Amino acid sequence: MSWLIDTIYYIVPFIIVLGVLVFVHEFGHYLMAKISGVKVEAFSIGFGKQLWGFTDKSGTKWKISAIPLGGYCQFLGDADASSSTSEVKDLTEEEKRMAFPFQPPIKKLLISIAGPAANYIFAIAIFASVLFFIGKIEFPAVVGEVIPNSAAEKAGIMAKDKIVSINGHKIEYFGDIAKEVELNTNKEIYIEIERNGNIIEKSFPLQPLSVTALTGERSEKQTRPMLGVKSINTFDVKSIQLGFGEAIIDASKQVWDITIVTLRGVGQMITGKRGSEDVGGVLRIAEMSGDITKEQGVLSLFLFMAMLSVNLGLINLFPIPLLDGGHVVIYLLEMTFGKELNQKLKDGLFKVGFALLIALMVFATWNDIVHLVQRWFA
């Protein structure tokens, strides 16, 4: 029976989270297309065989498909769901006015950007709602991961340990840990942790670790004494409520911070300053969705959904053909040169983009499998 409960905890939240984020993204494309006068022929959550659907009065076919790993918004004149090719041979003059391939580059650009923009707006809405109705978000002082060969690992600190105090100073949130570690002037650091309801005291020397820190406008590697723990992907909420305007501003700052941290992490992976083991795919999302639902509840799942929405919007803006960012680059070039790019060139770019995306998916899935195997054996 436990396996059935685990299946519900991990599969159901994953399908809900991914389905909502895909709907938000594609609805952004849909809404801008309608505003721009472009006909949407199909709006699908998922790929493959249709499980359920209906056709509205404007002729758009809304459907839920069997493979819940994405979705698409197909416009009139598209030969496929990715809008990478077009089929305009049999269109009438009236249909051409509503067909995507015949739109000016600026309209195509706005339709492409609208998907990622919707993900950002959705994330801001979630964060702002929590701030306005519930309170301010903080990370709890719970260890999510222990860095190998760090002082924490050698001292026997484990994942899910809650750090209660450092050098006699109470620790409420994860950010307090770094502050107390930086203020430590003793040869050893004294820590109280809570594990399975019991308080454990530990005293041990800190160990230098190499980290990438932001100095001015650039990042550089620094070596300094650190505890060697990472946060969990869950949240606590302070009982400090903000006004509506303050909540929107604070939520926008949080979304901006997530964007900057994500971009910095991608840059570090590209330059070799950071390992690529953090690249995860759908299995990692399913795992994290289940863990958060089981251990923290619905509120944390919504906050996780907001973070994921920012990442989905950002990744889709990367200038890779087939992604929205790749389309944006093409439309910007067409606007610059005043004419449409050669179709063979675009087809070639989309094939390269497809190969890159498949390679990235395979790599991310491999990382997910390795991570899950390590977790099971641990």
Residues annotated catalytic, as ranges: 26
**Helix, strand or coil for residue 206?**
coil
Nearest to 347 by CA among 80, 94, 160, 3: 80
Measured distance CA(115)–CA(15) in Å, rounded: 19
φ, ψ of residue 134 in degrees (nearest 5):
-115, -60
Angle, helix 105-133 to helix 2-35, in steps of 10 degrees: 130
Pairing of strands 162-166, 169-170: antiparallel
Measured distance CA(235)–CA(255) in Å, rounded: 15
Q: What is the DSSP letter of 103?
A: S
Quote the radius of gyration of the chain (alpha carbons, Å).
Answer: 24
List C-alpha distances in Å: 312 to 24, 70, 75, 306.
Answer: 11, 11, 22, 10
**Count of all residues that appear for the chain in the document:** 378
List C-alpha distances in Å: 375 to 20, 237, 285, 368.
Answer: 28, 28, 15, 10
Amino acid at 61: K
Pairing of strands 40-55, 137-138: unpaired
Residue for token pair 């509840």: 297
Conformation bin of residue 24: beta by default, left when phi > 0, alpha when psi is -120 to 50: alpha
Contact 204, 155 (CB under 8 A): yes
**Cβ contacts of 167 within 8 Å, gap of 6 or more:** 180, 183, 184, 186, 189, 190
